[in-house]
Amino acid sequence: MTSQFTVHGRLWIEAADGTIIGHGRVNLLEKIDDLGSLSAAATALGMSYRYAWKLVKSMNEHSDKPLITLSSGGRGGGHAELTTTGKEAVATYRRTDQEFEQFLSQQTEKLPE
Amino acid sequence: MTSQFTVHGRLWIEAADGTIIGHGRVNLLEKIDDLGSLSAAATALGMSYRYAWKLVKSMNEHSDKPLITLSSGGRGGGHAELTTTGKEAVATYRRTDQEFEQFLSQQTEKLPE
């Protein structure tokens, strides 16, 4: 018999300066990687271009090496790409998050009925 | 060398009907257990009596067995006590949360430098 209870949670990674990489930012990085365009990635996530651009700027400024390169071409016309550092950040977050999902399932199984 | 990054998170337990037991409610249960009074527990946590009372009512209504018993005596004069179910709920949450803290430390150690 399974428990009537389930364990849930939220996870994020903080840099020493307090910057946060969580679900939202990782989703944006992945969409940029998929679509090669910040404008298209923002649209796909229902996010304004301005907000997506601010997130990218913040992530690049707070990392030792940039996570995303933006080439010129103006709004909607430019190309966006993840750097190796950006791809590693996504992979690290996804691996951690996957182990977190396993942890939540294990904890749910341990709960009393 | 330790990573410049740390993994953080938040954990809660949901009942089948969606009710949540998280940090705030467990803190309130523990203070009731310590102080034997809902009014004193609310004050200790900087919470209004009205809000604390609503939380207690909600927790009792959504559990198969009540977590807290309130005896009469009016505002500030009554006695509040955790039931066995209430004590078990606190213990379960604290055990889960402790293992979550261990999980976060382990994940932080796995992060790249």
pLDDT band of residue A75 (cuts 50, 70, 90) is low
Residue in A64, A56, A61 with CA at minimum distance from that of residue A33:
A56
pLDDT value, residue A4: 76
Question: With contacts defined as CB-CB under 8 Å, which chain B residues touch A85?
Answer: none
A76 has pLDDT over 60: no
Query: Under an 8 A CB cutoff, do A7 and B7 touch?
Result: no
Of A10, A88, A111, the CB nearest to B10: A10
- The tens-digit pLDDT sequence of chain B (113 residues) is 456 789 999 999 998 777 788 999 999 999 999 999 999 999 999 999 999 999 999 989 888 889 999 987 655 567 999 999 999 999 999 999 999 999 999 999 998 87
Quote the minimal CA–CA distance from A39 to chain B in Å. 29
Task: Check residue B3 and give its pLDDT.
Answer: 60
* Interatomic CA distance for residues B42 and A93, integer angstroms: 38
Provide the β-strand partners of residue A79: A71
Residue B63 and residue B59: Cα distance in Å, rounded? 6
Predicted confidence at residue B106, as pLDDT, reads: 95
Subunit contact B107:A88, Cβ cutoff 8 A: no
- Residue B1: the pLDDT is 43
Under an 8 A CB cutoff, do A15 and B4 touch?
Answer: yes
Compute how many other C-beta atoms are within 10 angstroms of the C-beta atom of residue A111: 17
Question: What's the full length of chain A, in residues?
Answer: 113
pTM: 0.81
Inter-chain residue contact A111 with B96, CB threshold 8 Å: yes
For the stretch A11-51, pLDDT in tens is 999 987 777 889 999 999 999 999 999 999 999 999 999 99
- The shortest C-alpha distance from B107 to chain A (Å) reads 7
pLDDT of amino acid B4: 77
pLDDT tens digits, residue range A50-67?
999 999 999 898 888 899
Identify the pLDDT of residue B56: 94
pLDDT at residue B55 in the model: 94
Q: Which residues of B touch A112 (CB under 8 A)?
A: 88, 92
Chain B: give the shortest CA distance to residue A89, in Å.
Answer: 9
- Give alpha helix (H) positions in B1-113: 23-35, 38-44, 49-61, 84-110
Nearest to A12 by CA among B93, B109, B5: B5
Contact A7, A104 (CB under 8 A): yes
Interface residues of B toward A, Cβ cutoff 8 Å, are: 4-16, 88, 92, 96, 99-100, 103, 107, 110-112
Question: Rounded to whole angstroms, what are the CA distances from A28 to A61, A76, A91, A101, B4?
Answer: 16, 16, 13, 20, 22
A interface test, pick of B100, B106, B109, B113 with most A CB neighbours within 10 Å: B100
Note the Cα A111 to chain centre separation in Å.
Answer: 30
CA angle, B89 as apex, A111 and B18 as ends, to 5°? 70
Element (H, E) at B66: none
For residue B63, give the amino acid letter. Answer: S
Position A9 scores a pLDDT of: 94
Mean pLDDT of A65-90: 84
